[in-house]
């Protein structure tokens, strides 16, 4: 029986860095964002759903989804955000389930990186949940620096997610990413060591 660990956090919390450390240690990670990208690729299941819903105005000159335009539209109103979730989430869940079952055939321990793990009720999928945590102010500053957002845009993106402080109650391990990279790497290494000892 495989042990499955869920990695979650929030936008600009440093989850990508944690996943890189986990992969460097030799573990496999199913990346929910990559699964969404695959499904939204030209001809993919979500590509068809989104074009049927929003029209060809969300495509670029190559006929692929213009992700920036799509994100701006979806985040422009609660109605669009809700509709997007209703259309996309069942397809994403089905594909994640398929990949999870596939990986369980070959791995004793593996990870799934799901940004909205708690919000979209994936909690029961996992033996453990690891949360990458940063203070809200740090999160906003990093988001503005990384994506070139204004403070208003950064706040709007954060408002679409459950606050990290509320996610702590669901986590089996909290990885504090308010400090230096070396500190983050040390925390991940300790958690992975514990995993290896348990398995």
The annotated binding site is made up of 12-17
Give the whole-angstrom CA distance, residue 122 versus residue 17.
22
Contact residues for 122 (Cβ-Cβ < 8 A; gap 6+): 6, 93, 96, 112, 114
Angle in degrees, 0-180, between the axes of helices 45-54 and 32-40, rounded to the nearest 10? 60
Binding-site entries for ATP: 12-17
Q: What is the DSSP letter of 170?
A: G
Phi, psi angle pair for 65, to nearest 5°: -65, 130
Q: What is the DSSP letter of 175?
A: E
User: Which residue from 171, 119, 167 is spatially nearest to 139, judged by alpha carbons?
Assistant: 167
Q: Are 15 and 184 in contact (CB under 8 A)?
A: no
Q: What tokens were used for 110? A: 């593996």
């Amino acid at each position: 029986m495989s042990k499955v660990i869920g990695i979650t956090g929030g936008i600009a919390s440093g989850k990508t860095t944690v996943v890189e450390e986990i992969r460097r240690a030799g573990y496999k990670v199913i990346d929910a964002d990559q699964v969404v990208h695959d499904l939204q690729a030209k001809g993919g299941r979500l590509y068809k759903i989104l074009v049927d819903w929003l029209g060809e105005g969300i495509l670029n000159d190559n006929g692929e989804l213009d992700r920036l335009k799509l994100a701006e539209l979806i985040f422009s109103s609660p109605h669009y955000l809700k509709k997007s979730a209703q259309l996309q989430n069942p397809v994403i869940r089905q594909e994640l389930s398929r990949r999870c079952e596939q990986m369980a055939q070959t791995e004793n321990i593996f990870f799934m990186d799901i940004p909205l793990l708690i919000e979209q009720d994936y909690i029961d999928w996992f033996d453990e949940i690891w949360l990458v945590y940063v203070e809200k102010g740090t999160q906003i500053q990093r988001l503005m620096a990384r994506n070139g957002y204004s403070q208003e845009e950064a706040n709007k993106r954060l408002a679409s997610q459950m606050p990290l402080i509320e996610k702590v109650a669901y986590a089996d391990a909290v990885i504090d990413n308010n400090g230096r990279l070396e500190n983050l790497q040390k925390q991940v290494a300790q958690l992975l060591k514990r995993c290896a000892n348990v398995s």
